[in-house]
Amino acid sequence: MGAPWFKLQELAREHGIIARSSNYALYADMSNRVVEVLGAFTPDLEVYSIDESFLDLTAFRHLDLITYGQTIRQRIARWLGLPVCVGIAPTKTLAKLANHIAKKRPEFASVCDLERLSQADRARIFGEIAVGEVWGVGRRIEARLADMGIETVEALRR
């Protein structure tokens, strides 16, 4: 995983790598600003971590949630200069999976609503995602699932 900087300094110099120190105060400030923007989109907001939040959009189901998600990400980009992706689904686990899809698949333009996908499209996409990408499936569980022949999200779903 990580190594102390003094052990990597020479290698960094050889490859022209520049080290910068983290600015956690700025990161926290930007996180708070994102949460403030998100709060304008729903009163039911759960801050999960410094870079993740869950918004309950149940009351907004009458809207096109993909358009709503695009509005959210565009406002954050415009007001804060930060890129974000939006995953929309009926549960937090599925919302995180939808967010993964929104990040990794350009055809979703950074917003994925799992409920808008056809069953066939969902099965195809889930079949291309390693089961370890599911929130809560760590390396040990992933290995046990693989022993059972479950290596994709679609295999786990079935």
Alpha-carbon distance of 156 to 151, in angstroms, equals: 8
Neighbours of 88 (CB within 10 A): 21
Token pair 């804060």 is found at: 80
Q: Of these residues, 14, 52, 115, 128, which one is catalytic? A: 52
Longest dimension (CA), the chain: 58
Q: What count of other Cβ atoms lies within 10 Å of the Cβ of residue 85?
A: 18
- Whether 52 is a known active-site residue: answer yes
Active-site residues: which are they? Answer: 52
